[in-house]
Chains A and B, each alone.
Chain A
Amino acid sequence: MEKMKMMLVDDEERFLETTKKLLERKGYQVATAVSGSEALDKLQKENIHVVILDVKMPGMDGIATLKAIKNRYPLVEVIMLTGHATVESAVEGLKSGATDYLMKPTDMDDLIRKSEDAYAKRQVLEEKIRVAQARMAQRSPLEILRDAKK
């Protein structure tokens, strides 16, 4: 099974650095980005499964970044990291397609667990897509024609 590849997006560089080190020690592949636009750039270049995205960032903020990611890479799972205790920003994120949310300061174990959950969800989805594609490929032209007539 493919190993989970994560990306941390936050304007706090020390947080990115330390968390990356920690996660790499735990055996995950980790990319980091200090802004929304950088995150989008990296998504284009690398195949990233789960994005941990800070809601409050200078420039392009978390919600805008989330919408852009979901627009371009619908399969990427995004977990919002919010500094607000407000449920509102989390709700807004979830409505815009985020998989889950974490509240700052979040426990590292929680972060890893939620990321794993998100990754598992993505793998289920990818599996379904693969099965569906395989079925398409296996069908005879006659069957396809019959289906089309219905």
Chain B
Amino acid sequence: MTENRYARLRKLILATMILVPAIPFYIVMGIGYYYFTTSIENSTMASMRRIVEDHRQMIDTFLRERKSDLEFVAESYTFDNLADPIYLYKVFNLLQNKSAAFVDLGVFNEEGIHVTYQGPYKLIGKDYGEEDWFKEVMKQGYYISDTFLGYRRVPHFIVAITREEPGRKWVLRSTIDTQFFSHLVEKVRIGKTGEAYILNDNGILQTQRRSGGNLMDKDADQVVGPVKHEGTETFLKKNQNGEEFLYATTWLQDKKWLLVVRREESDAFRDVRSATYLILFINVVVGVGIITAAFYLTNSIVRRMEEIDTEKNQLGQQLVRASRLAELGEMAAGFAHEINNPLQIMTSEQALVETIFTDMIQKGELKDSQDLAELKDSMDQIKLQIGRCARITQAILKFGRQSEPVSRDIDLVAFIPDATNMIAKKASVNGITVREEISDRTPIVRGDPSMLQQVLLNLYNNAMDAIMERHGTEGGELIIASAPDEDGKVKISITDNGIGISPENLKKIFSPFFTTKPVGKGTGLGLSVCYGIVDSMGGVMEVSSKRGIGTTFTIRLPAAPGSEEEKG
């Protein structure tokens, strides 16, 4: 039942000690982790989105400018003007002054015949009537091609527009070096793996890609979907090798080209990942710490409670026993007192009988005879036995009394030998050599002499019991020593070569009711009473013992005031 109570208590304390710190801690960690990762993700995405949008702006502006340059030329000059090579040369120079991106400039008639051309190639007179771009420009009014390398292995694309004059429709075409904006795109670098490139709607690379993929190569990652979205889109996608990429894409140039900014997910969220590992690690460490501390504290609390309970129980039992003992003492005292009255009467009666006998003998009424001698002997015996009873009752009354201790100066130099003499007979009978080593300089102490005597006699008797247990009736040795100790104290030691005390018993030796003697032999009160007496005299009592070697009890008492000077 008690075990169960401790187990319940233990569970309760343990649960409280783990949960109370752990719950707020993990909530705080969780909230912190959530907001940290969300904000990192958002800012990563936002920066990619911004890069995409900035670049789209620039590229779109570039393309629009080139287109409007051509439109301006077409609006400003007639077919006839531009069909003149010298005129075209001038116009081309003007264009090149405005933007170095213009590589060449050519004029085509309605049939697709290259009428005039200003540029690095000999293209005049060629028929482009069946070319896709020509058909497209005739239909749409303008045309921007995909990128191509051309003869010089430099990425180019063409811009063409149509111009309608009364009775005539003609086409102005220019090749544009993409270096300007491909350089801009290829320059983009975010973190370790962040890059930007342009694809056409068939997934063909329009710019160089740093992580691999040349111009005009087909992009294997299939970023271009069937639907051409408005604005910027962000998404996650795995490449062929299973590496996950974070993408931000936007369509350029009338949705013909797709600007892609991508970054490896593991790179983009490297900080998040390391933060996650760190948080996990801290969580585990703290969790282990909390649990360890909780177990440790709970164990010590429960153990302490068990100890207190045990002590309480022991104390209660001791109290009950002590009060019973006190009752018994009182009863014995009352009993002894009552016995004294009849004993008094018996004493008187016996004395009277004896007197009568003496008188009768003197008067000669009784003659000396065997019978008379026996009667006399019997009378003496009655007197003797009454005396014995009286001694018993006195002893009981002495035991039961509770008198105030008297305080007197005790000269140990004389006092100790007196006490030792009381056991001298018992010691010699049991073959115990008693040696006294009483220093003449032993200071005087203050206390109740009969109590101090009780202490000494108790220790002597214990010592002799221990000696007899080991040596029988020869070879015993008991040494009583006294000497001044430091701090104005007196040291009295009683050493025997008896059986000794085991360490576990040594711990309990001054506890009340602790005894190693057989049932009925010892009350277990002797040493605890001695301890109490020494304590009441302001002293301390210590014991040291080795099993099989012997025991020393040491009493340290404060010297009586003034005794120092007396004894020197």
* Chain A residues engaging chain B, CB cutoff 8 angstroms: 12, 14-15, 18-19, 21-22, 25-26, 56, 83-88, 103-109
Known: A105-B386, A109-B351. 8 other contacts (CB 8 A): A83-B340, A83-B341, A84-B397, A85-B397, A86-B397, A104-B344, A105-B340, A106-B347
Q: How far is the CB of B189 from chain A (nearest CB, A)?
A: 109
Q: List 12 A-B contacts (CB under 8 A).
A: A19-B348, A21-B352, A22-B351, A83-B337, A83-B341, A85-B336, A86-B403, A104-B344, A105-B347, A105-B390, A106-B347, A107-B351
Is B359 close to A, CB under 8 A? yes
In the complex with contacts A21-B352, A105-B390, A86-B401 CB distance below 8 A? yes
Q: Give the residues in chain B near A21, CB-CB below 8 Å.
A: 352
Candidates A84, A85, A106, A109; contact of B344 at CB < 8 Å: A106
Q: A26, B355: Cβ atoms under 8 Å?
A: yes
Once bound together, how far apart are the Cα atoms of A99 and B386, in whole Å? Answer: 26
Candidates B337, B344, B359, B393; contact of A15 at CB < 8 Å: B344
* B347, B355, B359, B398, most chain A CB atoms within 10 A: B347
Is B356 close to A, CB under 8 A? yes
Q: B337, A14: Cβ atoms under 8 Å?
A: no
Q: A108, B348: Cβ atoms under 8 Å?
A: yes
Q: How far is the CB of A35 from chain B (nearest CB, A)?
A: 15
Q: Give the residues in chain A near B389, CB-CB below 8 Å.
A: 105
B344-382 interface code vs A (CB 8 A; 1 in, 0 out): 111111011001100100000000000000000000000
Q: A12, B344: Cβ atoms under 8 Å?
A: yes
Closest-by-CB residue of B relative to A18 is B348
Closest-by-CB residue of A relative to B394 is A85
Q: How far is the CB of A116 from chain B (nearest CB, A)?
A: 16
Q: What is the number of residues of chain B that contact chain A, defined by CB distance less than 8 Å?
A: 25
Q: How far is the CB of B406 from chain A (nearest CB, A)?
A: 10
Q: How far is the CB of B116 from chain A (nearest CB, A)?
A: 151
Once bound together, how far apart are the Cα atoms of A25 and B358, in whole Å? Answer: 11
Q: What are the 10 closest A-B residue pairs judged by CB atoms, nearest first?
A: A85-B397, A108-B351, A105-B343, A104-B340, A105-B344, A18-B348, A22-B352, A105-B347, A83-B340, A19-B348
Once bound together, how far apart are the Cα atoms of A104 and B344, in whole Å? Answer: 6
Q: B352, A105: Cβ atoms under 8 Å?
A: no
In the complex with contacts A86-B397, A105-B343, A105-B390, A22-B337 CB distance below 8 A? no
Q: Give the residues in chain B near A104, CB-CB below 8 Å.
A: 340-341, 343-344
In B390-428, the 8 Å CB interface with A consists of: 390, 393-394, 397-398, 401, 403
Q: Give the residues in chain A near B343, CB-CB below 8 Å.
A: 104-105
Q: How far is the CB of B66 from chain A (nearest CB, A)?
A: 131
Once bound together, how far apart are the Cα atoms of A107 and B393, in whole Å? Answer: 15
Q: B347, A108: Cβ atoms under 8 Å?
A: yes
Closest-by-CB residue of B relative to A19 is B348
Q: How far is the CB of B30 from chain A (nearest CB, A)?
A: 80
Q: How far is the CB of B90 from chain A (nearest CB, A)?
A: 148
Q: B352, A18: Cβ atoms under 8 Å?
A: yes
Once bound together, how far apart are the Cα atoms of A56 and B397, in whole Å? Answer: 15
* B348, B352, B401, most chain A CB atoms within 10 A: B348
Once bound together, how far apart are the Cα atoms of A18 and B386, in whole Å? Answer: 16
In B323-348, the 8 Å CB interface with A consists of: 336-337, 340-341, 343-348
Q: B345, A18: Cβ atoms under 8 Å?
A: yes
Once bound together, how far apart are the Cα atoms of A12 and B386, in whole Å? Answer: 18
Q: B401, A85: Cβ atoms under 8 Å?
A: yes
Q: Give the residues in chain B near A85, CB-CB below 8 Å.
A: 336, 393-394, 397-398, 401
Once bound together, how far apart are the Cα atoms of A148 and B348, in whole Å? Answer: 56
Q: A12, B345: Cβ atoms under 8 Å?
A: yes
Once bound together, how far apart are the Cα atoms of A84 and B397, in whole Å? Answer: 7
Q: Give the residues in chain A near B347, CB-CB below 8 Å.
A: 105-108
Q: B345, A15: Cβ atoms under 8 Å?
A: yes
Once bound together, how far apart are the Cα atoms of A15 and B355, in whole Å? Answer: 16
Q: How far is the CB of B398 from chain A (nearest CB, A)?
A: 6
Q: Give the residues in chain A near B344, CB-CB below 8 Å.
A: 12, 15, 104-106
Closest-by-CB residue of A relative to B352 is A22
Q: How far is the CB of B330 from chain A (nearest CB, A)?
A: 13
Q: B355, A22: Cβ atoms under 8 Å?
A: yes
Q: Give the residues in chain B near A83, CB-CB below 8 Å.
A: 337, 340-341
Closest-by-CB residue of A relative to B336 is A85
Q: Give the residues in chain A near B401, CB-CB below 8 Å.
A: 85-86
Q: A25, B394: Cβ atoms under 8 Å?
A: no
* A12, A103, A105, most chain B CB atoms within 10 A: A105
Q: Give the residues in chain A near B348, CB-CB below 8 Å.
A: 15, 18-19, 22, 108
Closest-by-CB residue of A relative to B345 is A15
Q: Give the residues in chain B near A56, CB-CB below 8 Å.
A: 337
Q: Give the residues in chain A near B398, CB-CB below 8 Å.
A: 85
Q: How far is the CB of B196 from chain A (nearest CB, A)?
A: 113
Closest-by-CB residue of A relative to B395 is A85
Once bound together, how far apart are the Cα atoms of A65 and B359, in whole Å? Answer: 36
Q: Give the residues in chain A near B394, CB-CB below 8 Å.
A: 85, 103
Q: Give the residues in chain B near A15, CB-CB below 8 Å.
A: 341, 344-345, 348
Q: Give the residues in chain A near B355, CB-CB below 8 Å.
A: 22, 25-26
